[in-house]
A and B are shown apart, each in its own frame.
Chain A
């Protein structure tokens, strides 16, 4: 390859790398915001990516005709596009969030449309870069490959910087600001190196735009997370505490409810009397397994369950595996629950549950408690599939009990019945074991009432203690396994079919419901109107 102007060529490479990085950073942030705005549904990431790619493709096609029409030099045209992309990216985020406050679907539509347009503006830059590079390289394919490779390598770096660094040290809102300012910075640089006139004027405008973003940022993004997470519900629900990191966003409301990326994850309460269906279900563990000594808890959440499990008197080891350190940070603000982490019986591991289980094949437990994902949300298969349940079974003693949150999924119950001999249900939790759940009512009530805090005082006490224990026990069903095995209309969730995400209530649902939606003779207009 002959290089005629090596410095310029390197500069162009740098521009392509920077543009690729910005593109990837924007795409990553779009997918996070759209994912949260859509309740972390499994199809959202792919939809967001598709919209970004469609915008990029449109930009690639429109770039050259647009530049020819405007009659602008490649670099100056590029500067305008990058600035436009950055400005649109920055302004569309709070705009979409504000629309979500009134109606969630149009708000999401704003996000999707803006994602396409920001990617389109960046895409339109590529042909301009390509033709400028080709002027300096004697081989057309090499020039295209050089620009494309620089863009893609820049995108890889952008993903790493945004995903591993920026989102870890900064909040989502400030990461959006940083990426937008970086776009304005690149636009300034391109404007400066372009041979046309009005350099100072352009640089001044970009600098003022950056200053405006910096000054108005707090006001513009006030309540952004709540709007994205709760939509119209953000009028009633505010976060009192927010912990952000690369693993996700943990928000705590003033009434002590904890949310992960906008989805309910638990509450900072140990009061089983007030609400037996929340932490009350944790006190069911000794009623499901006698003399429980070793417990594995997957998913820390609010930590209330960890406290309740440690309150089971027979327990001498409680291992907790959590993937998002944000929950731990949020927990420190609730000392009455966080004190459980000082308990010598409790060990916390920050790791992916499957990976932790695979790395510790020798560890065996009497009870495994898993409270991870909503069954319809992205990645739920990871915690509900038959393969994962078999992995849990491999870490259980012969009479061990798996007690996990199926979030009301009948498919999860059916899948559990395929792995264990006995399955019972406690509200939306599923308890499964190869040993029968044969404790009597009195034995169970005594076990529930035996839970005691660090000071030795019973957790469920007072005049209503028996009624509270009974309310907790009332959630427990009989053995459902025989009936479930006879069912022929439920899915066995596997890693391959991802049934809870894509078949039952997930993204593919509309497809199966299509005939009924498309043809409704009762709505034929001659019948209705005349």
Chain B
């Protein structure tokens, strides 16, 4: 497929070029302003840099648009979706006009750049969603989005629990490298065994996996809330005990909730219908969503949550997310037709 086969719209193209040029010029001027010392800079340099940057900005946006259009065409595999997307996508690039705010002193530091990118991604998502709505979606496709969100949120909760429990356990059982290694190993083993258990349950009771997921997530939420009080009590109980006892305590405290969460994740994945033609691709999406959630949560925990809410607040936040996924799953599975269940199993 050629890179850009959209029905050409001169207005859209003009808008893109102007947006890119304004962005490029603003970025260059802002950079010059930051780097300029008291001796100032010459008009000629300002003019040259702004002009070159304006051209570069326009070219860059053009390239990005072409690439995204190509990707949408490849991933959707549908000309209708791609054409619908191409009708609206250029408007999303106007988000970058926000760099005009550099004229009043807004600095293009990382958080601002992230904000711009987030807005752009959100706008692109909205356009894509509109484009996909224009064709008839199957039941499987309708459930896929909410399911991916549930998996993402579950991944966030697993990571929040992992980081905070590591801290809670270190406080009670010591902060040695050995304890940390043991904790991570127990966490991974718990998740793995939980997934095996979840798959067995899903196979044993294929019609009840939604209920299983909800129950397990509620269990994980309760365990999380209880852990704030439980871990210190357990720590005090085994304070004078041998290393084996403290090791067993760490394993128990870590493995049990991870069993619950691993089984819950697997139950959800098992319950989801997949198009038979792209089985392994679907699995990639499902696990990708859960792991992406965990990746986002890692940064979120140390950069935001710990600074504002401390350990207890973060644990309660994770428990709340478990609760949210349980409610979300209840709604998702309540909407399903009985026939869908068999597809997933």
Residues of A whose CB lies within 8 Å of any CB of B are 1, 24, 28, 42-43, 46-47, 49-51, 53-54, 56-58, 60-65, 123, 126-128, 130-131, 134, 139-142, 144-146, 148-153, 155-157, 159-160, 163-164, 246-248, 323, 351-352, 354-355, 358-359, 361, 379, 382, 387, 494-498, 501-503, 506-512, 514, 517-529
Which B170-185 residues have C-beta < 8 A from chain A? 170-171, 173-182, 184-185
Whether B193 pairs with A153 at a CB distance below 8 angstroms is: yes
One digit per residue, 1 when the CB lies within 8 angstroms of any chain A CB and 0 when it does not, for chain B 293-315 equals 01111110111101110111000
Interface centre among A247, A359, A514 (most CB of B within 10 A): A359
Which single residue of chain A is at the shortest CB-CB distance from B312? A496
Tell me the smallest distance from the CB of A425 to a CB of chain B, in Å: 26
Q: Is B9 an interface residue (CB 8 A)?
A: no
Residue contact B177 to A159, C-beta cutoff 8 Å: no
B323 at the interface (CB under 8 A from A): no
- Are the C-beta atoms of B296 and A141 separated by less than 8 Å? no
From A24, A495, A529, contact of B29 by CB (8 A): A529
Q: Flag whether B292 is at the interface (Cβ < 8 A).
A: yes
Q: Tell me whether A149 and B196 are in contact (CB under 8 A).
A: yes
Q: Verify A61–B302 contact, CB threshold 8 A.
A: no
Closest to A323 in B: B176
Can you pick out 16 interface pairs between chain A and chain B where the beta carbons lie within 8 Å of each other?
A: A43-B303, A46-B299, A50-B295, A63-B280, A130-B283, A140-B345, A141-B199, A152-B192, A156-B192, A163-B180, A352-B175, A354-B171, A354-B174, A508-B304, A521-B104, A525-B102
CB < 8 Å neighbour of B306 from A130, A142, A355, A508:
A508
Closest 9 interchain pairs by CB? Answer: A508-B307, A152-B192, A145-B199, A352-B174, A50-B298, A163-B181, A141-B270, A53-B295, A525-B33
Q: Are A517 and B109 in contact (CB under 8 A)?
A: yes
CA distance A355 to B278 in the complex (A): 52
Given A54-B295, A148-B195, A163-B178, 19 additional A-B pairs, CB 8 A = A28-B181, A53-B295, A60-B288, A123-B291, A127-B280, A130-B280, A141-B199, A142-B200, A155-B188, A156-B184, A163-B181, A351-B174, A497-B310, A498-B311, A502-B307, A507-B303, A510-B303, A511-B304, A528-B33
Other-chain residue from B163, B170, B287 in contact with A379 (beta carbon distance below 8 A):
B170
B154-168 toward A: CB 8 Å interface, digit per residue (1/0)?
Answer: 000001000100010
Q: Are B283 and A144 in contact (CB under 8 A)?
A: yes
Residue of A nearest to B344 (CB): A141
Q: When the two chains form the complex, which single residue of A134, A163, A518 contacts B111, counting CB atoms closer than 8 Å?
A: A518
- Assembled-state Cα–Cα distance A127/B112 (Å): 36
Contacts of B136 in A (CB 8 A): none
Q: A503 CA to B188 CA in the complex, in Å?
A: 30
Q: Cβ of B10: which chain A residues have Cβ within 8 Å of it?
A: none
- B302 is contacted by which of A43, A58, A145 (Cβ under 8 Å)? A43
